[in-house]
A and B are shown apart, each in its own frame.
Chain A
Amino acid sequence: MLADARIVLREQFLKADVGITGANFLIAETGQTVIVTNEGNGDLTQLLPRVHIALAGIEKVVPTLEDTMTIMRVLARSATGQEMSSYTTFSAGGRRKGDLDGPEAFHVVLLDNGRSKLLGSPTEDILRCIRCGCCLNACPVYGKIGGHAYGSTYSGPVGAVLTPSLAGLSEAHHLPNASSLCGRCEEVCPMRIPIPKMLRHFREEEVASGMAPASARRGIALWAWFASRPGLYRTMTSLTTGVLSLFGRKRGRFSSLPMAGAWTATRDLASPQGKSFQSQWARRSKS
Chain B
Amino acid sequence: MSEARDAIFTRVRGGIPRSDDAAARRAVAERLAGHTRGLQPQRIAIDQEALVDLFAENAQAVDATVSFINSAGDLPDAIADYLRSRNMPAQAAIAPHPDLDGIDWSASTMEVHRRAPKADDRIGINRCFAAVAETGTLVMASGPDSPATMNFLPETHIAVVAASEIIGSYEDMWDRLRSANRGSGEALPRTVNMITGTSRTGDIEQTLQTGVHGPKALHIVVVKEG
Contacts and interface: CB of A to CB of B under 8 A. Distances in A.
B212 A6 contact: yes
Interface string A82-124: 1111111111111111111110000000101000111111001
B171 A69 contact: yes
A94 B191 CA distance: 9
Contacts of B152: 40, 43-44, 47
Contacts of A88: 193-194, 196
Interface in A1-60: 1-2, 5-6, 9-10, 13-14, 28-30, 32, 38-41, 43-44, 47-48, 58
Contacts of A67: 38
Given A112-B4, A112-B11, A86 B200 contact: yes
Interface residues of B, number: 65
B109 interface: no
B23 interface: no
B193 A28 contact: no
B191 A102 contact: yes
Nearest to B4: A112
A85 B196 contact: yes
A87 B204 contact: no
Contact of B191 (A63, A89, A100, A119): A89
Given A64-B31, A89-B194, A120-B17, A99 B188 contact: no
A83 B209 CA distance: 17
B137 interface: yes
Contacts of B7: 112
A35 B141 CA distance: 15
B59 to A, nearest CB: 11
Nearest to B169: A69
Given A48-B149, A86-B200, A118 B188 contact: no
B213 A6 contact: yes
A100 B115 contact: yes
A29 B198 CA distance: 30
Contact of A99 (B41, B142, B195, B204): B142
Interface string B123-142: 00000000000010100001
B8 A96 contact: no
A118 B15 contact: yes
Query: Which residue among B4, B36, B135 has the maximum number of chain A CB atoms within 10 Å of its CB?
Result: B135
Interface of B: 4-5, 7-8, 11-12, 14-17, 28, 31-32, 34-39, 41, 58, 62, 96, 115-116, 119, 135, 137, 142-144, 147-149, 151-153, 169-171, 174, 186-202, 204, 209, 211-215
Interface of A: 1-2, 5-6, 9-10, 13-14, 28-30, 32, 38-41, 43-44, 47-48, 58, 63-67, 69-70, 72-73, 80, 82-102, 110, 112, 116-121, 124
